[in-house]
Amino acid sequence: MKRTTSDARWAKIIGVTVVLTLLAIYVYYPYSPAGRQHRNMALAEQHLPKVRALVASDGRFSRVHFGVYTGNGGSLMLSGAVRTEDDLAALKGLVDGSSPPAPVTWFVYVIPPPLFDESGY
């Protein structure tokens, strides 16, 4: 005699499997790379106004832009240009001094004054 599984039993098996799978995803997501990236990006977004206020008051950083970046596990991003290595060091000091809650990704380059003034970057 051959045993078969009834439709009701298959429905229960599928239902339990779906529920357990969704529960596993819900529990795992905050610790996953995507979950950490999402959390870091939200923290960086909240921190942007503080960094903008610190940097906007200094004319040396007029060509530096800010944003949130998906790279580096979700991070605060700075991009643009400054005139000297000392300006870059001062900018890094200001940003690091603000205690960013997420990693900081730098795309800020030093462009010497003659080129900096002509570039319009």
Nearest partner of 83 among 101, 59, 104, judged by Cα: 59
pLDDT at 1 over 60: no
Confidence band for 15, pLDDT divided at 50, 70 and 90: very high
Give the pLDDT score at 4: 65
What share of the chain has pLDDT > 70, as a percent? 93
> What is the domain partition of the chain in residue ranges?
36-119
State the sign of the Cα–Cα–Cα–Cα dihedral 99, 100, 103, 105: negative
In sequence order, what DSSP letters do the residues of 70-113 get, joined into one string? STTTSEEEEEEEESSHHHHHHHHHHHHHT--SS-EEEEEEE--H
What value does the mean pLDDT of the chain take?
Answer: 90
Give, in words, the CATH class of 36-119.
alpha beta
pLDDT tens, position by position, 51-105: 999 998 899 999 999 999 999 999 999 999 999 999 999 999 999 999 999 999 9
Q: What is the pLDDT of residue 3?
A: 65
pTM for the model: 0.75
Higher pLDDT, 46 or 26: 46
DSSP assigned state of 28: H
